[in-house]
Chains A and B, each alone.
Chain A
Amino acid sequence: MSATNTMHGWTGTVLRVNLTTGSITKEPLNAEWARDYVGGRGLGVKYLYEEMEPSVDPLSPENKMIFATGPLTGTNASCGSRYMVVTKGALTNAVTTSNSGGFWGPEMKFAGYDMIILEGKAAQPSYLWVYDDRVELRDATHLWGKTVWQTEEALRAEIGVPDSIIASIGPAGENLVRFACIMNDLHRAAGRSGVGAVMGSKNLKAIALRGTGGVSLADPQAYMEGQWAMKEKLRQSPVTAEGLPMYGTEVLVNVINEHGALPTRNHQQTVFDEAENISGETLTETRLVANKACFSCTIACGRVSTLPGEASSKYSVTTNPQNWKIAGEGPEYEAAWAMGSECGVGDLDALIKANWLCNDLGMDSISFGASVAAAMELFEKGAVSQDQTEIPLEFGSAEALIAMAEKTAYRQGFGDAVAEGSKRMTENFGRPEFFMGVRGQEFAAYEARAIQGMGLGYATSNRGACHLKAYTVAAEILGLPRQMDPRATEEKAEITKVFQDATSTVDATGLCQFLTFGVGLEEMLPQLSAATGVAYTLEELVHIGERIWNLERLWNERAGFTGKDDTLPKRILEEPIPSGPAKGEVNRLGEMLPEYYELRGWEKDGKISEAKKKELGL
């Protein structure tokens, strides 16, 4: 492919590593696919769709993992930090696209690669070391068993390059915890759907990167004008200029709680009376040390928190993060919800510690917290006894939450049951109705009965319940781009589709979704076109998002999913909210789903129509 050497934005090279054979190859990026799917989530899914049979066991060597950046990853576009892990999810059996920031994605670009594709399974624990064009698969037997933070420290010392950037799995990934994540830069996570378990199943402990190259631009002047314009808009948006920098994502705890939409005690209630204690305001006033930005981010929503004095030793753990007594990142809003109100825990210090444990052990704090919450309901309703759980798994018990973090990552005792995720766990104990999620993945921190559009978004999300695929909370609660009534179902099908498609495009560029609180695709367009030299139009960008969404759906169809899976738990559809501002509400998915299918141009049963496939070139 002659275009390789002249590509801008993209590096033009894909690194392919077969862990079974140890073969390492570099191949030109498929320029046609790059144009049609951009990068990141889009390009990763396209490669996975073309290369892999979707029916494979996600934890088998036949599953592939793709680490994909976008053309704006590694640029100074705020916030061009993102990479996407695309694979078949261990938690969901569906296609998953787990996104992370920090500095790892840009370093991959500087080393010279748009994507790293991993195949097969290593015979022994291994790590991949990429230093520009030098790529080595090395033994990691001595690292196996180490936590994420220990691994970063030991590996960086071993390779002797202080500026190296590391992504790794912790004990949770090694032990195939179904919601294990991949951590980079100590505290940043490609969090959901069990991508860390997939990496663990391949015997791959870590990928360490150092890149000294750069990202080139097709039209530097036009690009620079575009990025200045976007940064100016971000400076003017109340969310990106004030809310997120001041309180981080945790700013949402009080806001969502006041709407009666903060799921509490495994969705048995939707108002948490201790919300103030775990809010962004409290975190900022009592435990915040600094804001931390990802690569090139002008928002800097990251929270560095601390546990001073007695708070540090309040809950004892055996894997005490000794190196990080002073400060660590988080918790973010979703983590504070899952481990906080969903488990009935109102002690911020417990959440900070549990969040650090999740990061250090390499677990998705959302699915972990939500699975513990489901276990607590099993305990409350007598479906499991204290003989089985060993500790009283009572709602509100911070001790139980923290103990379960360690037990789950190491699959000790009842942790072995929790490690399967709440869908499998509740089925195993005969109470599947306590699973709060879609396609095997637990909900995020927004009650679908109180925010109707989120119900449709959860039900139709290709990677299982997720807040990052169509964040209609922006419109329904925050009034962006316009205020919609969260209790109404009118227009929700349309806004869900629009958000799903636009978000897919943002995820393909390498930019962070948080930008969309302040800017839209029209602000990203000039940078994308000037960086890549491809004269995209706004219509094309929307079209690309729709293409990505449909390709993911098509992949899932081939993996065995149908329209019947576009549904919500019985509690959300039939049990009215017992109290609070949204009292009496259920999610009226039936009013939205047929309209959504129609807008999508799909069949009445949710199957993608031949006409739509043809239109999108699938």
Chain B
Amino acid sequence: MKQLRVLTEKCTSCIQCELACAFVQTGTFQPSRSVIRVHIFDEQAVYAPYTCFQCDEAWCLTACPVNAIGIDPDTDAKVVMDDVCVGCAVCTVACPYGTMFYNPDSHKAFKCDLCGGDPACVKSCPTGALEYVDMDQPDWLASWADKVNRGFQHMQDEEGGNA
């Protein structure tokens, strides 16, 4: 099964992915509605795009009291069914990765649905930092965590050195 893969070392923080994601959903450029977010760590010069990696545990799906979240059989994406969602937002609390969102205008939850198998963020990325490829497991999270961790470690070391 194909999965979204993030190569943080290629990211320049241009947020084209956020703009593409918002455009697919709203027809406008509204990054606050994007379900992919680029985290900018200026002090470490690390730019980390981050979105739902469609985890097997699917806490959002398990937590939903009205079964409004299903699995797309073609992509394995966990998908919110708007006509069933009652907007209780329990899924946004259940998700340990912070990749479930709530739309205050429509009163519905929303998340990455992999654009039905053709992710707009991947197409928009000018540096190839996002890929949609066959993978056994979502190992990209490890490299993301490692890079952030290295920056954090560096910061700790510096603080320790000054003390």
Cβ of B28 and Cβ of A217 under 8 Å apart? yes
Checking B27, B43, B126, B127 against A324 with a beta-carbon cut-off of 8 angstroms, the contacting residue is B43
Which chain A residues numbered 164 to 216 have a C-beta less than 8 Å away from chain B?
186, 211-216
**23 contacts across the A-B interface (CB closer than 8 A):** A74-B29, A76-B23, A110-B31, A213-B30, A214-B30, A214-B31, A215-B30, A216-B27, A217-B27, A217-B29, A289-B45, A292-B12, A292-B47, A295-B15, A296-B15, A297-B12, A298-B14, A300-B12, A300-B127, A302-B12, A304-B45, A326-B151, A327-B42
Which chain B residues numbered 21 to 52 have a C-beta less than 8 Å away from chain A?
22-23, 26-33, 42-47
Q: B109-132, CB under 8 A of A: which get 1 and which 0?
A: 000000000000000101100000
| Cα(A302)–Cα(B12), bound, Å | 9
Q: B11-22, CB under 8 A of A: which get 1 and which 0?
A: 011111001101
Cβ of B28 and Cβ of A214 under 8 Å apart? yes
Q: Does B107 contact A (CB under 8 A)?
A: no
Q: Does B57 contact A (CB under 8 A)?
A: no
Cβ of A214 and Cβ of B12 under 8 Å apart? no
| Cα(A235)–Cα(B128), bound, Å | 13
Which chain A residues numbered 347 to 388 have a C-beta less than 8 Å away from chain B?
none
B32 to chain A, nearest CB (A): 4
Cβ of B44 and Cβ of A214 under 8 Å apart? no
| Cα(A327)–Cα(B44), bound, Å | 6
B122 to chain A, nearest CB (A): 14
Q: A386-397, CB under 8 A of B: which get 1 and which 0?
A: 000000000000
A307 to chain B, nearest CB (A): 13
| Cα(A295)–Cα(B27), bound, Å | 19
Cβ of B124 and Cβ of A293 under 8 Å apart? no
From known contacts A298-B16, A324-B43, infer whether A75 and B127 are also in contact, taking CB-CB under 8 Å: no
A61 to chain B, nearest CB (A): 35
A114 to chain B, nearest CB (A): 15
B-chain residues with CB within 8 Å of residue A217 when the two chains form the complex:
27-29
A190 to chain B, nearest CB (A): 19
Checking B14, B28, B154 against A293 with a beta-carbon cut-off of 8 angstroms, the contacting residue is B14
Q: Does A135 contact B (CB under 8 A)?
A: no
Cβ of A296 and Cβ of B32 under 8 Å apart? no
Q: Does A325 contact B (CB under 8 A)?
A: yes
Q: Does B158 contact A (CB under 8 A)?
A: yes
B-chain residues with CB within 8 Å of residue A298 when the two chains form the complex:
14, 16, 126
Cβ of B29 and Cβ of A76 under 8 Å apart? yes
Cβ of B45 and Cβ of A295 under 8 Å apart? no
Cβ of B29 and Cβ of A326 under 8 Å apart? no
| Cα(A557)–Cα(B151), bound, Å | 54
B-chain residues with CB within 8 Å of residue A214 when the two chains form the complex:
22, 26, 28-33
Nearest to B19 among chain A residues (CB) is A76
B96 to chain A, nearest CB (A): 19
B41 to chain A, nearest CB (A): 10
A243 to chain B, nearest CB (A): 16
B-chain residues with CB within 8 Å of residue A297 when the two chains form the complex:
12, 14
Q: Does A413 contact B (CB under 8 A)?
A: no
| Cα(A469)–Cα(B13), bound, Å | 28
Cβ of A220 and Cβ of B15 under 8 Å apart? no
Q: Does A319 contact B (CB under 8 A)?
A: no
Q: Does A400 contact B (CB under 8 A)?
A: no
| Cα(A289)–Cα(B15), bound, Å | 19
Pairs A-B, 8 closest by C-beta atoms: A214-B30, A214-B28, A293-B14, A298-B126, A300-B12, A76-B19, A293-B12, A212-B32
Give 5 new A-B contacts, CB below 8 A, not counting A74-B29, A324-B42: A75-B29, A214-B33, A216-B27, A292-B45, A295-B15
Q: A256-295, CB under 8 A of B: which get 1 and which 0?
A: 0000000000000000000000000000000001111111
Q: Does A41 contact B (CB under 8 A)?
A: no
Cβ of A76 and Cβ of B30 under 8 Å apart? no
A-chain residues with CB within 8 Å of residue B126 when the two chains form the complex:
78, 231, 235, 298, 300
User: Could you say which of B22, B29, B151 has the most chain A C-beta atoms within 10 Å of its C-beta?
Assistant: B29
| Cα(A304)–Cα(B47), bound, Å | 12
| Cα(A484)–Cα(B143), bound, Å | 49
B-chain residues with CB within 8 Å of residue A295 when the two chains form the complex:
14-15
Cβ of B45 and Cβ of A326 under 8 Å apart? yes
| Cα(A166)–Cα(B33), bound, Å | 21
From known contacts A110-B30, A290-B45, A327-B43, infer whether A296 and B12 are also in contact, taking CB-CB under 8 Å: no
A-chain residues with CB within 8 Å of residue B44 when the two chains form the complex:
326-327
Q: Does A323 contact B (CB under 8 A)?
A: yes
B-chain residues with CB within 8 Å of residue A306 when the two chains form the complex:
45
Cβ of A215 and Cβ of B29 under 8 Å apart? yes
A-chain residues with CB within 8 Å of residue B32 when the two chains form the complex:
110, 211-214
B-chain residues with CB within 8 Å of residue A289 when the two chains form the complex:
45
From known contacts A186-B42, A231-B126, A289-B45, infer whether A294 and B28 are also in contact, taking CB-CB under 8 Å: no
User: Could you say which of A76, A110, A294, A295 has the most chain B C-beta atoms within 10 Å of its C-beta?
Assistant: A76
| Cα(A75)–Cα(B42), bound, Å | 23
User: Could you say which of B13, B22, B155 has the most chain A C-beta atoms within 10 Å of its C-beta?
Assistant: B13
Cβ of A76 and Cβ of B158 under 8 Å apart? no
User: Could you say which of A110, A212, A292 has the most chain B C-beta atoms within 10 Å of its C-beta?
Assistant: A292
A-chain residues with CB within 8 Å of residue B43 when the two chains form the complex:
323-324, 326-327
| Cα(A214)–Cα(B45), bound, Å | 27
A-chain residues with CB within 8 Å of residue B28 when the two chains form the complex:
214-217
Which chain A residues numbered 215 to 244 have a C-beta less than 8 Å away from chain B?
215-217, 220, 224, 231, 235
Which chain B residues numbered 74 to 128 have a C-beta less than 8 Å away from chain A?
124, 126-127
| Cα(A430)–Cα(B43), bound, Å | 45
B-chain residues with CB within 8 Å of residue A327 when the two chains form the complex:
42-45
Which chain A residues numbered 305 to 356 have a C-beta less than 8 Å away from chain B?
306, 323-327
Nearest to A81 among chain B residues (CB) is B14
B71 to chain A, nearest CB (A): 30
Nearest to B126 among chain A residues (CB) is A298
A530 to chain B, nearest CB (A): 13
Nearest to A8 among chain B residues (CB) is B28
Nearest to A109 among chain B residues (CB) is B29
B-chain residues with CB within 8 Å of residue A186 when the two chains form the complex:
42
Cβ of A325 and Cβ of B15 under 8 Å apart? no
A-chain residues with CB within 8 Å of residue B16 when the two chains form the complex:
76, 296, 298
| Cα(A84)–Cα(B70), bound, Å | 47
B34 to chain A, nearest CB (A): 10
From known contacts A326-B43, A327-B43, infer whether A76 and B20 are also in contact, taking CB-CB under 8 Å: yes
A415 to chain B, nearest CB (A): 28
B-chain residues with CB within 8 Å of residue A293 when the two chains form the complex:
12-14
Q: B136-154, CB under 8 A of A: which get 1 and which 0?
A: 0000000000000001001
B-chain residues with CB within 8 Å of residue A290 when the two chains form the complex:
12, 45-47
B162 to chain A, nearest CB (A): 8
B102 to chain A, nearest CB (A): 12
A433 to chain B, nearest CB (A): 43
